[in-house]
Amino acid sequence: MKFSYFFNQILPSASAFLGVFFIVMMIGYGFLYFIDFVPEAPEDEVKSEETVINENDETSLTKEVEETPVLLDNNGSAQPISITLGSLDRTVSVLNPTSRSIPDLDAALLKGVVRHPDSADLNDQNGNMLILGHSSYLNNVFNKNYQAFNGIQNMTWGDTITLKSADTEYTYRVDKVYQAKASAVSIPTTSNGARLTLATCNTFGAKEDRFIVEAVLVSKKAL
């Protein structure tokens, strides 16, 4: 009698419960996938290297850099409007906000990558331009600007980065790629020659590790 009750009453109920649980779980997984909460493993990352220690966040711009200068004629447009990462086959818009507030800078990052307002512009003979961009390794990102700087950790010495203004194209050569904690990153505003630094970030106020790419200007031409 007990076995008959188990097979006729309990077992069908348990099977129905498991079926409903499986369906609910799959619907939940699908929802998380749809809203980009299912992570994707990033590509191979470079090993961490030490960099200049500074207790401020990634907006700190201090130390000087030694480099052979490349002279500019200072007659082109000063602000970049796009950046092309040659080895990654990617071109992204560059925003040039004047506000230094974190909310304003974060809002600009939703539209492209951002030149930090305290860093050099394209006409600066001895300046370092700092450009920050999002990186995300989620499967589905509706706003592709969240993946603007995906993979910059895989760039190597000699790779080219091209910045365009309204009338001039500037080509930089990658010199160094490394990983560092946001609290340990100190980016210079001045240098011996025109330089470019790229940095990944999730938000200007966040403290996650950053991938940093340093490059030096090697040529320019009128468009």
| pLDDT 10s digits, 10-30 | 555 656 656 656 666 776 655
- pLDDT score at 137: 77
Q: In the prediction, which pLDDT does 157 show?
A: 94
- Looking at residue 66, its pLDDT comes to 43
Judge residue 93's burial from the number of C-beta atoms within 10 Å of its C-beta, 0-12 exposed, 13-18 middle, 19 or more buried. Answer: middle
How far is residue 3's CA from residue 190's CA, in Å, rounded to a whole number? 83
Q: Is the pLDDT of residue 200 over 50?
A: yes
Residue 167 confidence (pLDDT)? 93
The CATH number of 82-222 is: 2.40.260.10
Segment 61-82 mean pLDDT: 56
Cα(212)–Cα(135) distance, rounded to whole angstroms? 12
Phi, psi of 93 (to 5 degrees): -70, 145
Q: Tokens 């493993």 — which residue?
A: 41
120-150 pLDDT, tens digit each? 999 888 899 999 999 887 777 788 888 899 9
**Where are the domains positioned within the chain?**
1-35, 82-222
pLDDT number for residue 136 = 81
pLDDT above 70 covers what percent of the chain? 60
Q: What percent of the chain has pLDDT over 90?
A: 40
- Is the confidence at residue 210, as pLDDT, over 70? yes
Task: Read off φ and ψ for residue 32, nearest 5 degrees.
Answer: -60, -40
Instruction: Tell me the C-alpha distance between 122 and 197, whole Å.
Output: 13
Residues pairing with 171 in the sheet: 162, 219
Structure confidence at residue 77 as a pLDDT band (50, 70, 90)? confident
Q: Which residues contact 26 (CB under 8 A, 6 or more apart)?
A: none
Q: Which of 119, 129, 151 is nearest to 45 (CA)?
A: 151
pLDDT at 187: 74
Whether the CB-CB separation of 158 and 94 falls below 8 Å is answered with: no
The least confident of 69-78, 165-174, 193-202 is 69-78
pLDDT recorded at residue 73: 45
Average pLDDT over residues 45-68: 38
Output the pLDDT for position 9.
56
- Min mean pLDDT across 59-63, 81-85, 110-114, 123-127 is at 59-63
